[in-house]
């Protein structure tokens, strides 16, 4: 007998019929003998509808009130789900973030979990009940104010509860069958991965894969919580995210796990920067002060002029306005010539823990893109990832070409081990 944490997203509980279907699955897990904790998001479009209501009231809703408003959504879904489970003859109790002991800091809208004191959940489980917990929300213990965890918050709630309760697994139910080697909408031959390491999943999430949020994977890795990403619409086994090497399985990992892509970034180029020590630091201090996270950075000697250089960096397109405005203010002080902004870029990332020990991955990647006629504008690498920036309208072609080149297409079976020279 184990302890399972299950998390269901908004599309899994979109209406009464969906809630009943999910309830059946939960009741089965409970009847199979496990203790079950369920984290649930708001039904379907509830959160968007509440945001729309707030926008009808004011262009600038105070963040404390916004958090109270949005958490109404999980309150509705969690109580309905508890009712549906009770209706199947299995005891169930729902708990708000506060009742579940999810303590956070006081940053409304994107609070961080600082502790999970799940004694009430433990008590409910010991009493034989399924515990349903509102995802995405917590409470600031100092002020007893409701907070929300921001995007992907329900996944984080699930992993945090799994860690606090020392659950055997945290099952994240979604509308796809698991983590794929590429987005199946772009690469129809993409394969579902049976397992993937935390590290790889982190790089996938950071590179635009939407199935799990970065923050939730970080939390899972830090606390060694195995995540099982699977579909709430089928009974299929999904993708296991873990560190473990299971005995009996091949120790030979495939080099490449998948190809991620991201169209949500933009590129800023600061042109004609004085090529003296400290200027780059000044530029990125200005951007950081505007609360903008940057991703890739490239610096080139300016072709035309001596003593000047160009600095390009990528950032979430949503922050483009903020960053360019902040740079404009600092232009005279820093002494660069101009700022160029381009939001028609795409990012392709090749991810695989196996590439650590296999050189030549980058070369093969660049070759595949060249053969497909795709120009590379920026490059960035980490131990288990290579990312390139392309034109946005060439990104789909790039993903397909790379997916094929690395033998990831499902018709070819397991990914081939590529050995070459010069990464």
CB of 143 to its own copies, least distance (A): 9
143 in a known ligand binding site? no
DSSP letter string, 112-170: -EEEE--HHHHHHHHTTPEEEEETTEEEETTTTEEEE--TTHHHHHHHHHHHHTT-SEE
22, HSE (Cβ side, Cα atoms, 13 Å): 33
Site for its own copies in 203-262 (CB under 8 A): none
CB of 171 to its own copies, least distance (A): 22
211 in a known ligand binding site? yes
Q: Count of residues binding its own copies (CB under 8 A)?
A: 40
Residue 301 is given by DSSP the state E
Residues contacting 17, CB < 8 A, separation 6+: none
Q: Would you count residue 372 as binding its own copies (CB under 8 A)?
A: no
Site for its own copies in 85-114 (CB under 8 A): 86-87, 92-94, 96, 98-99
CB of 125 to its own copies, least distance (A): 16
DSSP strand pairing (308-316 vs 297-301): antiparallel
127 in a known ligand binding site? no
Out of 84, 161, 273, 368, the only residue in the binding site for its own copies (CB under 8 A) is 84
Rounded to the nearest 5°, which phi and psi values hold at 103?
A: -95, 135
Q: How far is CA 142 from the centre of its chain?
A: 29
Q: Would you count residue 141 as binding its own copies (CB under 8 A)?
A: no
74 in a known ligand binding site? yes
* Count of beta carbons in the 10 Å neighbourhood of residue 15: 11
How far are the Cα atoms of 90, 105, 154 from residue 137, in angstroms, in the given order? Answer: 25, 11, 8
> Among residues 96 and 253, whose Cβ is nearest to its own copies?
96
9 in a known ligand binding site? yes
- Binding track, positions 41-80, relative to its own copies; x by CB under 8 A: ---------x--xx-xxx-xxx-xxx-xx-xxx-xx-xxx
329 in a known ligand binding site? no
DSSP strand pairing (3-8 vs 35-40): parallel
Residue 396 is given by DSSP the state H
**Are residues 137 and 71 in contact, defined by beta-carbon separation less than 8 angstroms?**
yes
423 in a known ligand binding site? no
* Count of beta carbons in the 10 Å neighbourhood of residue 367: 13
CB of 110 to its own copies, least distance (A): 18
404 in a known ligand binding site? no
> Among residues 137 and 309, whose Cβ is nearest to its own copies?
137
Rounded to the nearest 5°, which phi and psi values hold at 67?
A: -65, -40
Q: Would you count residue 297 as binding its own copies (CB under 8 A)?
A: no
CB of 155 to its own copies, least distance (A): 22
352 in a known ligand binding site? no
Q: Would you count residue 142 as binding its own copies (CB under 8 A)?
A: no
* Residue ranges at the known binding site for substrate: 47, 74
Give residues in contact with its own copies (CB under 8 A): 16, 19-20, 50, 53-54, 56-58, 60-62, 64-66, 68-69, 71-73, 75-76, 78-80, 82-84, 86-87, 92-94, 96, 98-99, 120, 144-146
* Residue ranges at the known binding site: 7-10, 47, 74, 174-175, 185, 210-211
């Amino acid at each position: 007998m184990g302890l399972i944490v299950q998390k269901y997203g908004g599309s899994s509980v979109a209406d009464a019929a969906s809630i009943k279907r999910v309830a059946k699955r939960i009741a089965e897990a409970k009847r199979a003998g496990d203790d079950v904790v369920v984290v649930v998001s708001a039904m379907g479009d509830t959160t968007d509808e509440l945001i729309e209501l707030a926008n009808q009231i004011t262009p600038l809703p105070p963040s404390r009130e916004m958090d109270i408003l949005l958490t109404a959504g999980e309150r509705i879904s969690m109580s309905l789900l508890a009712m549906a489970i009770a209706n199947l003859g299995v005891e169930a109790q729902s708990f708000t973030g506060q009742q579940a002991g999810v303590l956070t800091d006081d940053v409304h809208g994107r609070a961080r979990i600082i502790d999970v004191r799940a004694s009430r959940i433990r008590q409910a489980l010991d009493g034989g009940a399924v515990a349903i917990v509102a995802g995405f929300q917590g409470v600031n213990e100092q002020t007893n104010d409701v907070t929300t965890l921001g995007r992907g918050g329900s996944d984080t709630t699930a992993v945090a509860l799994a860690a606090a309760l020392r659950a055997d697994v945290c099952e994240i139910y979604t509308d796809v069958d698991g983590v794929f080697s590429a987005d199946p909408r772009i690469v129809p031959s993409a394969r579902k991965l049976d397992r993937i390491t935390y590290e790889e999943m982190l790089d996938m999430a950071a590179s635009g894969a939407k199935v799990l949020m970065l923050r939730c994977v970080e939390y899972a890795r830090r606390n060694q919580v195995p995540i099982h990403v699977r579909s709430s619409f089928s009974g299929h086994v999904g993708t296991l995210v873990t560190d473990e090497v299971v005995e009996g399985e091949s120790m030979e990992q495939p080099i490449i796990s998948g190809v991620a892509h991201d169209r949500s970034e933009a590129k800023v180029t600061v042109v004609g920067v004085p090529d003296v020590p400290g200027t780059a630091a000044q530029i990125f201090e200005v951007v950081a002060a505007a609360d903008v996270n940057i991703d890739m950075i490239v610096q080139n000697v300016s072709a035309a002029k001596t003593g000047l250089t160009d600095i390009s960096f990528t950032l979430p397109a949503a922050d483009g306005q903020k960053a360019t405005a902040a740079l404009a203010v600092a232009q005279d002080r820093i002494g660069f010539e101009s700022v160029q902004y381009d939001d028609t870029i795409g990012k392709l990332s090749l991810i695989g823990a196996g590439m650590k020990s296999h050189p030549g991955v980058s070369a093969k990647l660049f070759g595949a893109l060249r053969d497909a006629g795709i120009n590379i504008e920026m490059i960035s690498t980490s131990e288990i990832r290579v990312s390139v920036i392309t034109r946005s309208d060439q990104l789909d072609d790039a993903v397909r070409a790379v997916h094929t080149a690395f033998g990831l297409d499902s018709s070819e079976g397991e990914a081939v081990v590529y050995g070459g020279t010069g990464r």
